[in-house]
Structure formats: structure tokens, C-alpha cells
Structure 1
Amino acid sequence: MFKFAKTSLLVAAAALSLSASDVLLTVNGKNITKQDAQLFVSAAAPNANYADLKSQEQDMIKERLIEKVLFSELAQQEGIENDPEFKKNLEMLKSELAINVWMKKQLDNVVVSDSEAKEFYEKNSDKFLEEATLHARHILVESEQDAQKIIDTLKPLQGKVLQEKFIELAKTQSTGPSGPNGGDLGTFKKGQMVPAFSEAVWALEEGKITTKPVKTRFGYHVIYLEKKNEASTMAYEDVKPQIIATLRQKQFTTKIQEIAKELKKKATIIDPEKKEDKK
């Protein structure tokens, strides 16, 4: 009597802990939740989200989840749990689950100290480089002659005067989408621009323009280099999480290999093909 009452209270508490907004459907008293739907979606498309699907797609998933509950009930009613094949597969699943949970615990127990991470960073600082970037502007026109005229206008200028005049001409003459913003292309890395443009802009010095029109499939460019940010070593704090994750994985792999080696030494392993026992 007491046991029944206690069980009922536990079930009630579990039901209360589940938010009503999480429940999509109830089938024969069993709740189907948004989490169940997301698991179903993730199994088919890892990067998809149930909440982002169209209404028709969500309805289809609900139907599959309803069927899953009903088929599970039917299978149990027909005694599938006593079927030898079911028992065999259940043992396989239990074995895989046991290994997975055990592996996770081994990984969770791996601790990498700050000093270990710092030492790795200092020894491998060349692997944590921030790529060089450029900040440039351009004026895009249709003909080589138009580009050359702009270059001829800008050539005598320097410093702030050159920058201001370039921005002015970009706003009034550039046919590119960046024209209204003074030809500003923002910051970019090597290889992000088309080859001819990339070669020309990376050859420039800060505050200088290209002295010849640069031809690409878009037209003819006049380029102004605002700033060049040289390659630099990333700060330790920025890469610390990445380093710790790498070292944890490395230590975990070594640990598992050592445990496997010791277990194999103690085990009796029979290989029919080699016709010998390993002990």
C-alpha cells in the first residue's frame, strides 16, 4: 500500500517538473515532448531544428512519434521482450551504452592544469598565429581610361588629403556597391579577393594607391590601402580553451591505450586463425 502511494507521488512529481509548454502530444497517457521531436529530427539531419521546420513538416514528425509510441505498446503487448532476437540486441545495446558512459567518465576525469596549457602554448606559439589582414577601399569603373583618369587625379596627393579625395571620388564615380560608403571593403585576409585584386592590394603600402588600373571580371579598380595588420601570435587566454581541449583529448587517448594494453595482457584471447591462445 505504502509502496504504491510512494510510486504515485514520484510519477506526479515528474509530471509536474515537465513544463506544459514542452509537451507536444499525449498518446495513451505518454507525453511526447519537444525534446523527443528534436531527437527525431537530429537523427535524420544533425543541423536541423524542429522549431524551425514548417508546420507540415512538424505535423509529419508528430505522426511518426505517435506511431513510435503505438508500435512500442503493440510490440510489448505481443511479448517482443521475450523474443531471443530482442534479448540479443538488447545485450548489444547495453554493452555499447556501458562503454560509451564509461569512456565519458574517463574523459571527464582528465584534468589539464593551467601550467600544462601555458607550457604547451609557449612551445607551440607558432601554431597560434592570427593571419595578416588588410583594410582597403576601391573605386570600380567600367573602362581602363576612366580608372587611369582617377589615378592621375589622386597621384599628386598624400596622407589625409589623398584619403579624403579617394573617398569623395568613390562616392561619386564608383559603380560598385561599396561606392556610397567611400569604397570601403572592410577588413579581409589573403585570398579572400579575386586573384588580380588580391595581388595588387597586398603589394601596396599603407596610405598608397595602385598606380595602374587593376582589371578583374567586375571592371577596373583603383585601390587604396587604409591599413595593414601584420600576422601576430594570438593571446594565450583566447586559445586556452582550445589548448585544454586538445591536451585533454591527447591524455584521454593515451590513458585508454594504456588501459587496453593492460587488459589485453590479463585476458585470455583465442584467435582461431593463428591457432594459439594469448594470455
Structure 2
Amino acid sequence: MKIILKLFMMFYTLFLSQSLIASEVVATVNGSDITQKDVNDFVVSSIPGASFSALTYEQQKGVINQMINRKLFLEDAKKMNIASRPEFIKELEKEKENLMLDFWMKDKVEEIAISDRDAKIYYRDNIQKFNRPASVKVRHILLASEAEARDIIQRLKRSNNLKKDFISLAKEKSTGPSAVNGGELDWFIKEQMVPEFSEAAFSLQKGKITTQPVKTQFGYHVIYLEDKKEQRLIPFEMVKSDIINVLRRLKFKAKLERLSKKMKKTAIITVK
């Protein structure tokens, strides 16, 4: 019983802390609060897959400033009584209709049943879509000259904490935009970078650096391999729901045609 109670209290505390974080006020504009949830929702809607907490301090300040501006502009719009203008009301009705149709289509799509067999056939017939090429995550230091790059490599070879020292040197010496993040780049596949950079990055072992400067059109790079993912096939179960959604949308097109014809038979339509 005590164990159950402890588990309950642990999950309750976690839930409560998450709720408090979401409702935490990050700014107030004329008495109107902007919460952590507000800024995170704004970031997610602007950049799918991103989150407010993952942004740099400067980026977070920029987002909060945009939210403050939005509040101020909205206040001014309310003072101008824009909501009562006939053209606003007309556009609002159009948006309501569009939103209603979006919900209608969503309901119609979800009515379509897709069997596991159909989903597996699609997976088998489109297997190339579910192959994920190898990818790497690296840090790099971009320098103007080969001599500077060689000097950095020699300094790092003497390091007792390679990753920590690499990050420090990237922040101090790199001329690239990723310098502020310690030279960190997001995951990428070979084709996403210039050939010289990709070849060097993909040939590295995890936790190692390039022992020679890597020359590209941008300058000379010293690269550190954070992590690597080998080419892999995504299992069916991981993409099953996505496949079902794809098949539903494909079947919905045919269903829409049939539905349109059926409705037109009973509707009174005059084309002028």
C-alpha cells in the first residue's frame, strides 16, 4: 500500500510540476499574461518539431518579444473596433466555413476503415520509402586558414577532455554561425552537406576529430563526431499509423467523388 501511495504521489508531483511550468508566466502586457505554454505553442506552430525550451537564450528572448508585440497590436486592433467592421465579419464567416469543412473532412477520413493487410501491402510495395539512410551529428570549427585549423587540431590532440575543449574552442575560434552552440550541427545525411565535409564526417569514429583540416568552399573545418546512425529500415509497427493515414486520404479522394455525385442528385443547383 505504501509503495502504491508513493508511486501515486510521484506521478501526481510530476503532473503538477508540468502543469505549473506550462502555466508559468514569462511576461505580462497591460495585465494580460503570456505563459510558458503560450510561447511553446507559438514556437511549435511556427516550426514543427521545435520547442521553446530547445531554443537558445537569445532566440527565446526573440520569441517572447514577438508575443509581446502581438499582444500590443491586438490591443490596438480592439481599440480600433476592427471586429465590428462588415468586411471583418465577412472574412470571419469564411474562416468559420473553412474550419467547419476541415472538421467535416477529418470526420469523413476517420470513417474509412483500413485493414492491417492493406497497410502491410502498402509497406511492402513502398519499402524504399521506409529506408532511412545513415546520418551523423557533428560539431565543427570553421576557420579562415589551413594553419589555424592545424593549430586547433594540435591543441585538441593534447586535450584530456576532447568534447569539452572542442566546444570551448568552437565558441572562441569558429567563424561559422554554429559557434554560439559550440559548433553543434543538427543530424544530417551525406547528400545534405558539401561532399568534402560529408566524406570527412562519415569516416569518423564516434568521439573522434578529423586529424587533417577539411577544406570546403566555406573555409577550413575541424570536425568532431557526436553520434552516428547506420542505414536502417523502419519497422512496420512504427509507421503503421502513418500508412493508415496515407491510405485513408487516398481512399477519401474516391469517396469524395462518390459523395459529391450523390449529393448533387438531391440538391437544387442553378449555374448562371
What's the TM-score, normalizing by structure 2?
Answer: 0.49
Q: Max radius of gyration: which structure?
A: 1
What TM-score does the superposition give when structure 1 sets the normalisation length? 0.48
